[in-house]
Amino acid sequence: MTVTSETTPISHYERIGGAAAVKSAVELFYDKVLADPELAGYFTDVNMTEQRRHLALMLAVVLGGPNEYTGRGLAEAHQPLRITGEHYAKVGQHLTATLVELGVPADVVTDVQAVLGQVRDQVVSAGNA
């Protein structure tokens, strides 16, 4: 008799190192964004400790980790900021560069980029595309 065990596929979240890896990515990502003169202004009056926490929770969900995010939806949080398509693309470039710099596998980076494409219209203000 042969016994086979089914294994649950490991999530991207687990593959990159879980909460600690996500936290490192968020820290490096915001270092890049806040150093970008075209993007830093969006964060002038933002509690960055809370902002980093929110992004870490959201990124965990995107990567297949635990869903503990209870904040505002993407559109509600971003539409009042009048974010342009160009600035959204720059943020995506910073996130991609962060993940690559941290050695995240290419397929995970590609999946994160796909999610960025899927949520773009929730973040970019109409008329600023």
Among 88-97, 98-107, 119-128, the minimum mean pLDDT is found in 119-128
pLDDT at residue number 126 = 77
* Tens-place pLDDT, residues 95-112: 999 999 999 999 999 999
Q: For the chain, which residues make up each domain, given as ranges? A: 13-123
Helix/strand/coil for 57: helix
Is the per-residue pLDDT at 127 higher than 90?
no
The pLDDT value recorded for residue 69 is: 87
Q: Please spell the DSSP secondary structure of 74-114, one letter per residue.
A: HHHHHGGGTB-HHHHHHHHHHHHHHHHHTT--HHHHHHHHH
H-type helices in 3-69, by residue range? 12-16, 18-34, 48-62
Q: Does domain 13-123 have CATH number 1.10.490.10?
A: yes
pLDDT single digits (tens) 8-33: 779 999 999 999 999 999 999 999 99
Position 47 pLDDT exceeds 90: yes
pLDDT, position 6: 62
pTM above 0.75, yes or no: yes
